[in-house]
Amino acid sequence: MKKQVKIVVYGAEQLCASCVNLPSSQETFEWLHAAISRKYPNQPFDIIHVDIFNPPNEEELSQFAERVIEEDMFYPVVTLEGNIVGEGNPRLKDIYKELEKYGYSQAE
């Protein structure tokens, strides 16, 4: 593995108006954590959940949270190393593809 990546799930407690039948951002966060851990065991990664209406004081995270609101993005929005890899209903296949660019490889 080349680099331990940072995955951020941006969302809110209240579901996005256009995402009513989709999982919440917290549920997406938990689902992604479990799915990535199973697919790439013993390959560490950082994953955090950011409430877009109450972001942490870290400038990068708070600026992107503001962008999600201003641009009316469908949340949850998932970023991997700062690049958007999913919005509204993120696809595991897309996230896995991006992880593999950083040297993650499937369990044997």
pLDDT in tens, 42-52: 899 999 999 99
Alpha-helix residue ranges (DSSP H) falling in the chain: 25-39, 59-70, 92-101
Which class does domain 6-101 fall in? alpha beta
pTM: 0.90
Which residues lie closer than 8 Å to 74 by C-beta, 6 or more apart?
16, 18, 19, 87, 88, 89
Report whether pLDDT(3) > 90. no
